[in-house]
Every structure is written in structure tokens, then in C-alpha cells.
Amino acid sequence: QVQLVESGGGLVQPGGSLRLSCAASGSIFRLYAMGWYRQAPGKSRELVARTTRGGNTNYADSVKGRFTISRDNAKNTVDLQMNSLKPEDTAVYYCNADASVDAKQGIMNYWGKGTLVTVSA
């Protein structure tokens, strides 16, 4: 009952910036941890960044200092600001979230369908 929709992907030159957004909708009682994952060509899906409801963050070592994750609990959104992009950042980026749909049910995990980021000259 929770849908995640990513936006903001596209083609960018090395060294450039891009901002991804993820909007959660549906029967949301509460959103908990939210994060961004990516899957590069020929590689497995990996965690890029994660943020708790309280705003604590974790980043993959490969993106520390370049990417920033943020969230707006009032709008049910999570963003990923990507700076100093490198060709190796090229991947499909997926939004992920833990959420409950009401006070009686437990927490479920949800995925978006992904947005493609291509870093190339």
C-alpha cells in the first residue's frame, strides 16, 4: 500500500551534479529508514546512502563527501544530492523505504522502480 517513485535521473558529465528525489505515497502511517541503492551494469545492487527517521545518515565509502541524503518527513520524500559525479557512479538508482501502513501492522520494506543515472562525457 506504499508506492515509491524516483525522479531526477539523467545524463551528466563527469564532475557534474544531479539531484534525485523519491516520493512515497499511499496508505502511509509512518516512514522509518529510507535509502538509495544503485545497480551498475554487471554488478550487484549496493547501498549508496541511508537515513533514519531522525535524520541519522550512512554512506557507502565510495560516495562519502560527494553525495548527501536528506528527507522531509512532512512531505514523505527523500533526496540524494550527487556532486562530483564519476563514470563509475553510472547505475540505476533505487529508492527504498521501511514503512508501516497503520498502527496495527508491522513494518514492511518497499522499493521504487529506479531511475537511470549516466555519467559520461
* Rounded mean pLDDT, 5-16: 98
**pLDDT tens sequence across 43-90:** 999 999 999 999 999 999 999 999 999 999 999 999 999 999 999 999
Task: Name the band, by pLDDT with cuts 50, 70 and 90, for residue 93.
Answer: very high
**Nearest-5° Cα angle at 30, 27 to 36:** 95
User: What does pLDDT average to over the chain?
Assistant: 96
In this predicted structure, what is the pLDDT of residue 1? 84
Nearest CA among 105, 84, 81 for reference residue 93: 81
Q: What grid cell was written down for 17?
A: 551534479
